Structure 1
Amino acid sequence: MRAMLILLLLAVLPARAAMDITRELEVPEHVVPGQPVRIAITFWTDSWFNPPPEWPDFKIENGSLMSTPLPNQLLSRQKNGISWSGIRLEKQVTAWDQGVLLLPAVEITLTSPNQPPVTVQLPELKKEVVWPKGVEQPDRFLPASNLTLSQKITQYHARKDTTLHAGDVVERIVTVKANGIVATQIPQLLYAIPGTETQRLTPINTMLKSGRGEIEGAQREETLRYLPSQAGTITLPPIKLRWWDTANQQWQIAQLPGSTMPVAQARAAGSESALRGTTSQNKWQTVLVISAIAILLLLIWFTRRLLKRCLKYLHHAWRRFWNPVQLPELTPTKRGER
């Protein structure tokens, strides 16, 4: 009887769950300023997480956490014959200048309902950050593991022709795709040129994701419109972007060719009211509309007899609907005769 009471008491007592936390700094052998690296915080328990773990607060010297969202990971391990479940939280951190990226030692206290708090001592983590040789403009320094440049040049004319006149528009779109960076690190590439006015559109920044949804890098789309104000020629200069290849530890140069376009005299007054692109998209739209109208007319022609019968039937149905119907007499006519 006493043994049964002891077992019952042990069953109703709250179980004590073991908790632990680890911290890692995932860095390559060489790190340069502006190169994002990852901090991984893993919460461990042999029970379940209640409440879910959150990113702890700790100091970072010569670096700053980035807001780039990274997915959490579920882990497991065996330690001292006990199975542990873990949730791994990751964030990117970047050092913006040469020095030592330092995460000082810190104590983290873990809490859980109906459990005593557990304090874990996290050791110091650090990594040296060094400028590569040959840095010319630190404010335009761009580290990336991979980078590509592309461009699109489009002319918009006030009339349906292929001649560029003063008052028309030349639009240049340059797209930079790079891995291992954020979009704000990509420098400005397009500038005004003599003999034109310019209109700069707001750059479009997007994140590059892998097939699993992990963020791999960033894309920046920069657009500048040139408005030639006089006859002559306009020359769009070639573009060169010098960047540091963090994968191969060497300088690379990405290039785009320029373009020279003759500009004719301005058109007569009123011709500039509508600008049209030189692409063939409008022609295809016109062809599709004409084809749709022709198919509709052919369909009406081949079904004209059926349509005629349908119209007659609808006409008769309409007439019958509105034709008054005589109702029988409801009041007796011979009420006084008996």
Structure 2
Amino acid sequence: MTRALMFLICLLPALAVAAPQVSVRSELLNGDKALVGGTVTLQVDVLVDTWFSSPPELPKLAIDGAVVTPPSGEAQHLTEKQQGQTLFGLRFNYQITPLNAQAYDIPALSVRVTPGQSQQPVTVSTTAQHFSAAQPAGAKAGESSLIAQQVELTQTIVKSHDPLRVGDSITRQVQTRAVGAQTMLIPAPPFAEIKGLTRYVQPPSVHPLEDGRGGVNGGAREDSVMYRVTEEGHFSVPAIEMPWWSAADGQAHSASVPAITFEAKGEASYQAPFSMAQDLRALRHSAQVNIARHWLVIVAVLVIGAALVYFGKTRARALWVDWLQRRERRKREWLNSPEYAWQLTRQQLSAQPPRLDGLYLWVRRSTGRVDLQSFIGSRRLPLMQRLQRWFANLYAAEKSAQPEPPAALLDDLQKVHQQHATRTSARYHLKPLNPQSTYGAIDESERHASVS
């Protein structure tokens, strides 16, 4: 009995570090109703019993004869219970658009997953899928078919002048909105050529339709054509009809916009606000240039440019050397400043083990004192006692359990320095005439006393 108990106790660590459970499943949506030009969704669910240390890595899917849109950056979160165990997962969707009426094979996909409490990534594979795409009823083989849930066709007419005249133009803008369709597969509407009108087809504008939650549920396309009137008469631009098929049941539908009729009379008159003939004559007279003078100007420009390069090179070198010297001088001033000593003090006291040479350097540069006793003074006895305790703990054989942090002492030292600087600036308004002042002599004597 004792041996069995000991054996179970030995197995407890192995049970505690058991490998996390990772599973993957795939499902083909609308695979039995696939149409050429429609969309088939390959749904991939990745499930773990812990959490994801990093997002799952899905492979790139390529299928001959079909356009595949990879999953977007955002996945749907899942929470399921299987056999009394709670699983957490992410759902990814591949959008597949078949272009030919044939059978398609989707190979197994290897997904790389890094679950929580796992020492290394885990690779799991989906099951292979198969579907067949059929041509929509009534669609011509070899032509692109618009498969969608809903299609809306609208148009806008813009005239350059009303009423139209010979030389004016009329623009027809057609907007196509297809819910549940791929944006790139929306066909362009036909723009007919009309006798007496010159047709100029503009580049289209396409963009996806958003569902309001950061996803895409279709596409939109805007086409535009401009007709320029070249002769008088009555004109009729025919209606535009776009066939499409429902993605749900494969039934054929049609969306259309009405025809456009208009009349053009007379010619567009235009008079420039200035005389172009006179401007051209003045430009022709001013363009007469003497060849000899032209070459003379070129030579003069080259000589002046060469002189500027020759003499400017020496000046530029002198400016560069002067800039380097000024930068070096500013660097030395910074290294000899109290601000640099204070920055060095904070770095040294935060290091392990702390150093004190930066602290004494800052005291000497900021006030001229050589020791902390003269710097703090008798009025700051509590601060001096805190420093002595901190020094004693720093160099003691046994350290205190909770020593005072150096940052609090540095802040109090900075306050003492600011008060000292305020009293000094208020007391002395002019520099002392004698550089070796009594203040300096006292500091010098204190320094010798501290050294001895």
Q: Return the TM-score normalized by structure 2.
A: 0.53
Shift of the 154–24 alpha-carbon distance from structure 1 to 2, 3 Å rule, reads same
Matches within 5 A, 1:135-154: 135-136=139-140, 138-154=142-158
Q: Does 1:60 align with 2:63?
A: yes
Range with greater deviation from structure 2 (97-106 or 148-157): 97-106
Matches within 5 A, 1:312-327: none
Which segments of 5 or more consecutive residues in structure 1 lack a partner in the other structure?
273-338
1:220 Cα offset (Å): 0.6
Shift of the 271–92 alpha-carbon distance from structure 1 to 2, 3 Å rule, reads farther
Aligned partner of 1:23 in structure 2 is: 26
1:126 Cα offset (Å): 1.0
Q: Secondary structure at the match of 2:143?
A: helix
1:11 Cα offset (Å): 10
Shift of the 16–134 alpha-carbon distance from structure 1 to 2, 3 Å rule, reads same
1:210 Cα offset (Å): 2.0
1:85-122 deviations in Å (ceiling 9; x for gaps): 00111121111101112112455554558435544342
Q: Secondary structure at the match of 1:50?
A: strand
Q: Does the aligned pair in 2 maintain the 1:153–1:171 contact within 8 Å?
A: yes
Considering only CA atoms, is the larger Rg found in Structure 1 or Structure 2?
2
Aligned partner of 1:241 in structure 2 is: 242
1:227-250 deviations in Å (ceiling 9; x for gaps): 112222332111111112222322
Matches within 5 A, 1:64-103: 64-66=67-69, 69=72, 71-103=74-106
Aligned partner of 1:177 in structure 2 is: 177
Distance 1:106 1:254 in 2: 39
Distance 2:76 2:110 in 1: 23
Q: Does the aligned pair in 1 maintain the 2:70–2:93 contact within 8 Å?
A: no
Q: Does 1:41 align with 2:44?
A: yes
Distance 1:86 1:149 in 2: 40
Distance 2:147 2:272 in 1: 48
1:194 Cα offset (Å): 2.4
Q: Does the aligned pair in 2 maintain the 1:36–1:94 contact within 8 Å?
A: yes
1:153 Cα offset (Å): 0.9
1:23-57 deviations in Å (ceiling 9; x for gaps): 22111542111111111222111111122112224
Q: Return the TM-score normalized by structure 1.
A: 0.69
Q: Does the aligned pair in 2 maintain the 1:35–1:95 contact within 8 Å?
A: yes
Distance 1:174 1:163 in 2: 22
Shift of the 36–203 alpha-carbon distance from structure 1 to 2, 3 Å rule, reads same
Aligned partner of 2:119 in structure 1 is: 115
Aligned partner of 2:137 in structure 1 is: 133
Q: Secondary structure at the match of 1:184?
A: helix
Aligned partner of 2:216 in structure 1 is: 215
Shift of the 125–55 alpha-carbon distance from structure 1 to 2, 3 Å rule, reads same
Which segments of 5 or more consecutive residues in structure 2 lack a partner in the other structure?
274-452
Q: Secondary structure at the match of 1:147?
A: strand
1:136 Cα offset (Å): 2.4
Shift of the 163–106 alpha-carbon distance from structure 1 to 2, 3 Å rule, reads closer
Q: Does the aligned pair in 1 maintain the 2:171–2:227 contact within 8 Å?
A: yes
Distance 1:111 1:224 in 2: 54
Aligned partner of 1:186 in structure 2 is: 186
Q: Could you say which structure has the higher helix fraction?
A: 2
Q: Could you say which structure has the higher strand fraction?
A: 1
Shift of the 108–215 alpha-carbon distance from structure 1 to 2, 3 Å rule, reads closer
Question: Which is bigger in relative contact order (C-alpha 8 A, separation at least 6)?
Answer: 1
AA aligned to 1:147 is V
AA aligned to 1:18 is Q
Aligned partner of 1:228 in structure 2 is: 229
Q: Does the aligned pair in 2 maintain the 1:19–1:44 contact within 8 Å?
A: yes
1:63 Cα offset (Å): 2.7
Please, what is the CA RMSD of the aligned residues?
2.9
Distance 1:116 1:187 in 2: 48
Range with greater deviation from structure 2 (134-143 or 226-235): 134-143
Distance 1:70 1:16 in 2: 28
Range with greater deviation from structure 2 (17-26 or 206-215): 206-215
Range with greater deviation from structure 2 (252-261 or 51-60): 51-60
Q: Does 1:164 align with 2:168?
A: no
Distance 1:154 1:234 in 2: 15
